[in-house]
Amino acid sequence: MKDIGVGLIGTGFMGKCHALAWRSVGGVFAEAGRPRLVHLGEANAELARTRAAEFGFEKASGDWRAVIEDPGVDVVSLTTPNKFHAEMATAALEAGKHLWCEKPMAPTFAEAEAMAAAARKAGTVAILGYNYIQSPAIRQIGALLAEGRIGTLNHLRIEMDEDFMADPHAPFGWRHDAASGYGALDDFAVHPLSLIAVLFGRVARVVCDMAKPHAERITASGEARAVETWDIASVLMRLESGLSATLQVNRAAWGRKGRICVQIFGSEGTILFDQERFNEFQLYLTSDRPEEQGFRTVLIGPQHQPYSSFVPAPGHGLGFNDLKIIECRELIARIGGDIGARLIGFDEGLEIERTVHAMARSHQEGGWVDVR
């Protein structure tokens, strides 16, 4: 795996994140080697050439199929809008490529099922871009839960909020089109669900309500168009373990920039985490002396792996792109045969998609729905 060839399809926000991760992974994690940035694909040849020069790719194409067909490409990073995932991912897998596809899998469950089936048939590594599970803080929280430090769990609350859909005067975009999916559920809720999958296991039952704060938006041509997706979702959940949980997501929450708030309540303590301050978490333990009981701030440092691979000193903090680099390292490890690499593959991702579609079905039917 010292000479893995990389192809990138899509060069927006997440495309650049993938490119930065591929360029940096070998410098942070020596065992990852030095991946070669072989071929970049975009919607047209001119944009592809510009991005290839910026990102450092050897070749550029205005046709995504050329990236997949390139014999020098071993793994494809797929970062296009959701509606293109199914066709492109399936083509890459059928060509025998490893695949790093951004979440969610696809707008429809049938497409997601087909993608998972293609991955199983191909036998190559296919993962989804759930980088928040890579956070050293989330890893440490998982370790505390595994040790039973806060006792028997009794409730989980998890929220995700941003404000990029809050402005009622913002123009109609692809995320407002039903072709992209349901809205906040598959754009947002999949991230909290990835944390639930890693820390707590599967969701068994849900009841969901969705809201649309802005019914219309103005298109580029100046016409009013109905918004077809939902920016807000509130969900009650029962996990297979029996744990009760709530999930709330909002893409129109003024002042929230990148918030994933996790509150875990147990018989002997509580853990609080906020993604906007993701280099720390709060811990309350009833085992402390009554005179000193209270929430303590645990600051992430070199003792919380893999923080020390980036910086040897505590208090300096990691960032969003660093989580992508960690995810890239885990992908390279999986391709190299490490079945224990911390990743969400297509089969695990399909369970997240199943949960999202159950939530949407619950909203439509107005009651509790079994996920499986």
What HEC string does the chain produce?
CCCCEEEEECCCHHHHHHHHHHHHHHHHCHHHCCCEEEEEECCCHHHHHHHHHHHCCCEEECCHHHHHHCCCCCEEEECCCHHHHHHHHHHHHHCCCEEEECCCCCCCHHHHHHHHHHHHHHCCCEEECCHHHHCHHHHHHHHHHHHCCCCCEEEEEEEEECCCCCCCCCCCCHHHCHHHCCEHHHHHHHHHHHHHHHHCCCEEEEEEEEECCCCEEECCCCCEEECCCECEEEEEEEECCCCEEEEEEECCCCCCCCEEEEEEEECCEEEEEEHHHCCEEEEEECCCCHHHCCCEEEECCCCCCCHHHCCCCCCCCCCHHHHHHHHHHHHHHHHCCCCCCCCCEHHHHHHHHHHHHHHHHHHHHCCCEECC
Single residue among 90, 106, 131 that ends a domain in this structure: 131
Residues 162 and 65 placed together within one structural domain of the fold: no
Residues 26 and 95 placed together within one structural domain of the fold: yes
Residues 206 and 241 placed together within one structural domain of the fold: yes
Residues 138 and 216 placed together within one structural domain of the fold: yes
Residues 30 and 150 placed together within one structural domain of the fold: no
Single residue among 110, 131, 152 that ends a domain in this structure: 131
Q: Kindly give the parts of the chain with pLDDT less than 70.
A: 1-2
Residues 114 and 171 placed together within one structural domain of the fold: no
Residues 154 and 69 placed together within one structural domain of the fold: no
**pLDDT score at 148:** 98
Residues 231 and 252 placed together within one structural domain of the fold: yes
Residues 155 and 295 placed together within one structural domain of the fold: yes
Task: Report the amino acid identity of residue 227.
Answer: V
Distance CA 141, CA 135 (A): 10
Single residue among 104, 131, 158 that ends a domain in this structure: 131
Q: The domain that contains 348 carries what CATH number?
A: 3.30.360.10
**pLDDT score at 55:** 98
Residues 123 and 140 placed together within one structural domain of the fold: no
Enclosing domain of residue 342: 133-370
Distance CA 25, CA 327 (A): 9
Into how many domains does the chain fold? 2
Q: The domain that contains 19 carries what CATH number?
A: 3.40.50.720
Residues 168 and 302 placed together within one structural domain of the fold: yes
Residues 206 and 151 placed together within one structural domain of the fold: yes
**pLDDT score at 2:** 62
